[in-house]
Amino acid sequence: MGVYIFYLFGTGLIATSIVAILMKNPVHSVLSVVSSFFFLAGIYAGLSMQFLAVIQILVYAGAIMVLFIFIIMLFDLQKSEYSKDRFLWRDLVPLALILITAAGFISAISRSESIKNYVANAKLPSNFGSVSAVSFEFFGTSNSVGRFSFLFEVISILLLSAIVGAVVLAKRKL
Amino acid sequence: MVELIIWTIIKILFILFFVTLPLAGVLTVVDRRESSMIQDRIGPNRANLSGDVWDLSKRWRFLGLLHLLADGIKMIFKEDYSIKSGNRWIHTFAPILAFFPGLVILSIIPFGGNVTVFGSSTNLQIASFDSGMLLAFAFSSIAVYGITLAGWSSNNKFSLLGGVRATSQMLSYEVVLGLTLMGIFMIYGTLELNTIVQGQQSLKVDGTPDLLFGFLPKWGIFLQPFAMLLYVAAATAETKRAPFDVPEAESELVSGFFTEYGSMKMGMFLFAEYAEVVIFSMIFTTLFLGGYHVPYLYDSGFILPFGWGSLSINPTLVGFIQMLTFLLKVIIVAWGHLVIRWTLPRFRYDQVLRLGWKMLLPLALANIIITAIVLSFI
Amino acid sequence: MFKIFLMSTTESLSKSLDLTTTYLPIVMMIVVALIVAFGMLALSIFAGPKYPSKAKEYPFECGWLLDSKDTKRKHSIKFYMVAIMFLIFDLEIVFMYPWAITFRQIGLVSLVEMFIFLSILVVGYIYVWKKGILEWD
């Protein structure tokens, strides 16, 4: 069951991503990327990571891409300013390189005995992927600090620097 | 598996075609009738079934409710023109993006307790989803696209300004919306709506009712009264209804982001607004008004406080009573929401954003901090 | 080879949760909602009459200019700032949901962690406020 969900959504993800590159109109590209995020959320859901799946839609599709759309609207691109890139045969060279590298990685991973053993012996907790499981990793349990507690605090500094950066962009001074 | 699919189809058909869409339709008429009553006018009352009867009092008018039908038919059979200058594809599909995400939220709302029909038992909730409320937030943030793209693709100054205004208003209030509900999530310890509803009125381990001060059910409205006020304000702004209807402010922007829309496409934007009102009422009922619970009615029957006695009722009957209670509560909340619209004057756009960012946001944060401190010392 | 690997990984992950009972109803709901939305759109496109005319093709404008050239003029940067601020605060809130639902189980540890997190962000909020980003004038 899980593997078919992966194939279904994976195909959709690749297709929409390719469409996003090929579209001339930036708004069409953004919409295509948004639908690719839905497919990605589907893959997450198929892997039982339902919190991540919802967050993928909530943050990426619902917030970040809205910002993209907003910027495109505010920049006011005319049709004459759309990308004029045309397909060239030499564009296939990097594509081929990427595909060969990816194939190498995939075959290396799938041949690796240690990964295979890890996968075979992997035991998932019964609440894997739920919101509370994520929470215990971040905030620990009643008598211990969680695995990612420190990283969680660092994220706030990252967000703070993002705030400062946005203000500097708008105001040109600190 | 088959049982699950059949139940799901029944539940979807019921909640969508027998509750949400009809209620949203009726609200469009009720909105106009209520405004006319508040403003001392007569309002729409002429649509009738009896044809050309001279005496008005003998026409079958059903309180003006037939205007719902008349409006629907009119919208469908109007000319569907489309502009040539904007982006036609996006212009055509934007109403769908604005309309469908709201309906998806219905899938996580519990609209009744556990019922057993023909030996098959089910919870009256389409999907029990662990991150339930997050799904609602996610899909309501998808609805922003419909509004933005409608404004952008119309190639019209009013539409674009309305779309930009609507987007930044909806984004601002999404932040507040999430923060206001945090207290509820903290108290009931889950994002799954059915669990929240059950947490609001439950029995203790020893079988006695779990009540506040011995008589109040532990509904969200009693535990988080302040969050409730903030939530009503934020949700009203999120649905873009007066007093927060600056994106489609008729006096400034013609009709905002859907200025360039006609026929049922415009109808979808209007209808989406009323469907959002219904869904807002459902979520409000679920989180703050005990969902489908009747006060003091538990799975096995009534257990009154202060030891005033108890009455046992058939569990399936309880399930149906709870379903009707939920619908009644939703209708009352939706009606109250319409009253808000017609009794408060519109904010200016800067006031809307200032209210969101400078008042509701700090207040919601303060509410979370106070709730956290209180909860950790109880 | 790869398929077997993929099968074993995905199956071991998807086993921990019964996929059908959770997601199938939601997927059905999405499908039904889309059918309703497309149905309404199709009704409006096919049911109505078509009387095309030159005047209907122009965007609506008060008064005299039929073909306005500058419909997509530049907008205030304030709108853009609101979107960025939304993004940052939305990310902050996303971290608060897991905290909120396990708060009563974890207790004081998570309270302290969240207070540190929030106080750093409140500094940012005050900074934005003082810089006048939230002003709209």
- Whether the Cβ atoms of residue B300 and residue B113 lie closer than 8 Å to each other: no
B341 lies in some domain: yes
At residue C5, does pLDDT exceed 70? no
Residue in C64, C101, C114 to test binding to B, most B beta-carbons within 10 Å? C101
**Chain B residue whose CA is closest to C99:** B186
Q: Which two tokens stand for residue A34?
A: 């948004």
Its pTM stands at 0.86
Asked if A131 reaches chain C (Cβ–Cβ under 8 Å), the answer is yes
**Which residues in chain A have their CB less than 8 angstroms from residue B141's CB?**
57-58, 61-63, 66
> Which among B368, B126, B304, C15 has a CA at the least distance from the CA of A2?
C15
- pLDDT for B157 equals 75
Q: Does residue C1 register a pLDDT over 50?
A: no
Q: How many domains does chain B have?
A: 1
Query: In degrees rounded to 5, what are phi and psi of residue B283?
Result: -65, -40
Banded pLDDT at A104 (limits 50, 70, 90) = very high
pLDDT surpassing 70 at residue C67: no
Is residue B103 assigned to a domain? yes
Contact C7 A139 (CB under 8 A): no
Domain chopping of chain A, boundaries: 127-174
Element containing residue B121 per DSSP (H, E) = strand B120-123
The single residue listed with the structure tokens 């108290």 is B187
3-state secondary structure chain A: CHHHHHHHHHHHHHHHHHHHHHCCCHHHHHHHHHHHHHHHHHHHHHCCCHHHHHHHHHHHHHHHHHHHHHHHHHHCCCHHHCCCCCCCHHHHHHHHHHHHHHHHHHHHHHHCHHHHHHHHHCCCCCCCCCHHHHHHHHHCECCECCCCHHHHHHHHHHHHHHHHHHHHHHHCCC
The helix-helix angle for B361-377 and C77-106 (nearest 10°) equals: 10
Query: Residue ranges per domain, chain C?
Result: 1-50, 66-137
What's residue C74's pLDDT?
A: 62
With beta carbons under 8 A apart, name residues in chain A contacting C120. Answer: 153, 156-157, 159-160
> CA-based Rg of chain A, rounded to a whole angstrom?
21
The per-residue pLDDT for range A61-91, each reduced to its tens digit, is 888 888 888 888 777 666 666 666 666 777 7
Please say whether the beta carbons of A54 and C52 come within 8 A. no
**Comparing C-alpha atoms, which of A22, A59, A51, A11 is closest to residue A159?**
A59
pLDDT at C16: 43
In a domain, B27, yes or no: no
> Tell me: the pLDDT tens digits for A8-27?
889 999 999 988 888 878 88
Beta bridge partners of A144: A141
| Region A118-131 average pLDDT | 76
Element (H, E) at B96: helix B88-105
Q: In a 3-state reduction of DSSP, which class is residue C27? A: helix
Alpha-carbon distance B186 to nearest alpha carbon in chain A (angstroms): 12
- For chain B, which residues score pLDDT lower than 70? 51, 53-54, 56, 58, 85-86, 207, 249-252
Q: CB of B353 within 8 A of CB of B168?
A: yes
| H helix intervals, chain C | 2-14, 19-47, 77-106, 108-130
- The domain of B346 spans 78-377
Burial of residue C65, with CB atoms counted within 10 A of its CB: 0-12 exposed, 13-18 middle, 19 or more buried:
exposed
The predicted pLDDT at position A173 comes to 62
**Contact, A23 vs A32, CB < 8 A?**
yes
Q: Which 70-99 residues of chain A touch chain C by CB within 8 A? A: 70-71, 73-76, 78
> Spelled out in words, what is the top-level CATH class assigned to the domain C66-137?
mainly alpha
Cβ–Cβ gap A66/B148 under 8 Å: yes
Token pair listed for A151: 């990283």
| Residue A38 pLDDT exceeds 70 | yes
Chain-centroid distance of CA B57 in Å reads 35
pLDDT in tens, B158-177: 778 888 888 888 888 888 88
Average pLDDT of chain A is: 82
Check A70 against C127: CB less than 8 A apart.
no
In order of A132, A137, A141, B240, B372, the CA distances from C110 in angstroms are 13, 11, 8, 36, 10
Query: Which residue, B275, B259, A25, B74, is CA-closest to C44?
Result: B74
